[in-house]
Amino acid sequence: MEPSLLALFLVAGLASLFMAWVIGAGSSGATPFAPAVGANAISTMRAAFVVGLFGLAGAVTQGGNVSEAVGRGLVGGVSLPATGVIVALGIGATLMAVGIYTGYPIATAFTVTGAVIGVGLALGGTPVWAKYQQIGTVWVLTPFVGGGIAYGIASVLPREDVPEWASVPVLAGVVGLVLANVRFASLGPGGAPGSLARFGARSVGFGGWVAPLALSLGLAVVVAAVVHADVRHDESGALTRVLLTLGSLVAFSAGGSQVGLAVGPLLPLLDDAGMLSPVVVLAGGGVGILVGSWTGAPRMIKSLAQDYSSLGPRRSIAALVPSFLIAQVAVLFGVPVSFNEIVVSAIIGSGAAVGGGGAVSARKIFVTVGAWAGSFVLAFAAGYGSMTALAMA
């Protein structure tokens, strides 16, 4: 490989690592445990440490779908060259860094998706309208679905006629049911992605759908029973443990989703050069997210935990349940989605169930939504303009 081309590859790799660091310091590093920190269930620094570890695990075991979508599914007919990767990731990371500095959660998926599409179209690529419709649908529905579910849960948990020894185990059982059917790398036939339920069924010699369904329901019942016993024994401690478990699952899901925004643009580039395997690339992105979570996330965690809503353990649980569910749907379909949008929407919905305006900062919500929309437009314009200028130079 020529020295100049090798240098471009190295710069593209550094841009990807910087993007991974920014993601860890911002969306995936801050949002999963922000409700738990706001509920005083865990300290800010400990939350940053834990979320980094789970983010790394999620990146390695669930990062393939979104990485593929960002790398190959946003623009047809072209593969981004090294310069295009550098421009797209540089724009996305810069906008994210501005969000971290100002304390406002810029939507990572919006910036990277906008930049990649802008760069690809400037290079002569064609729009992939079906994928855009899928992504746009998820982006638009996320605040309403996540916020609505969080509002509903937060409205039920404090009610005297719905005891927590019943409601919280039911929520935990639903999460267990979903977790049993989440796809992980290498659990399917021939090393393909597969779910825990189907892996368990194959391990004992059963095929079809009956055995995986039975195992899924069995796991849900076991999880619900354990949480039920824990709530009966120590209600306050049990709520904290459920909250921290949900935060860990959301952090894991964040790693599986957000790593694709950092390393996805690299995949076609590395394939063409016959260099690193996707697993190694995902692991490298996961390490970048971990370092970002450990070194840069505390500022954003504080912003989300203290500025958006004053949530107790119950409403924090209400915010994290839909966050986990939406995140896994996005990972399954390979849709790049912002964890800032997911968790902030759920926090707002959960906080709104308090009643009155004191639980939610209306001004911060307005500014945040404006930042989400503006970041996509700005990233697209910057990506398209930068690559057009480079092509003319």
Show the domain range for 248: 3-392
Q: For the chain, what's the residue count?
A: 393
CA 143 to CA 156: how far, in whole Å? Answer: 20
Q: In this structure, are strands 126-127 and 75-76 parallel, antiparallel, or unpaired? A: antiparallel
CA 69 to CA 265: how far, in whole Å? Answer: 9
Distant-in-sequence, close-in-space partners of 351: CB < 8 Å, separation ≥ 6: 154, 308, 309, 310, 311, 315, 359, 360
Sign of the CA dihedral 176, 181, 182, 185? positive
Let me know: does 299 contact 101? Beta carbons within 8 Å.
no
CA 37 to CA 116: how far, in whole Å? Answer: 34
Task: Output the pLDDT for position 359.
Answer: 52
CA 19 to CA 272: how far, in whole Å? Answer: 22
Let me know: does 238 contact 230? Beta carbons within 8 Å.
yes
Count H helices, E strands: the chain? 17, 4
Distant-in-sequence, close-in-space partners of 353: CB < 8 Å, separation ≥ 6: 150, 151, 154, 155, 315, 318
Task: Output the pLDDT for position 34.
Answer: 75
CA 80 to CA 284: how far, in whole Å? Answer: 20
Overall domain count for the chain? 1
Phi and psi at 144, nearest 5°, equal -75, -45
Phi and psi at 322, nearest 5°, equal -65, -30
Task: Output the pLDDT for position 385.
Answer: 95
**DSSP secondary structure, 203-230, as one string:** HTT--TTHHHHHHHHHHHHHHHHHHHHH
Residue showing tokens 């049911």? 177
Quick one: which H or E segment has residue 31? none
Let me know: does 197 contact 218? Beta carbons within 8 Å.
no
Which residues, listed in sequence order, are joined to residue 183 by a DSSP beta bridge? 195
CA 91 to CA 386: how far, in whole Å? Answer: 10
Does residue 355 come out as left (phi exceeding 0), alpha (psi in the -120 to 50 range) or beta?
left
Mean pLDDT per block of 10 residues along the chain (393 residues) reads 67 86 76 76 86 92 91 90 88 78 74 93 94 93 93 84 89 95 88 89 84 94 96 91 92 91 84 70 90 84 63 83 93 88 83 62 72 87 93 75
Task: Output the pLDDT for position 360.
Answer: 55
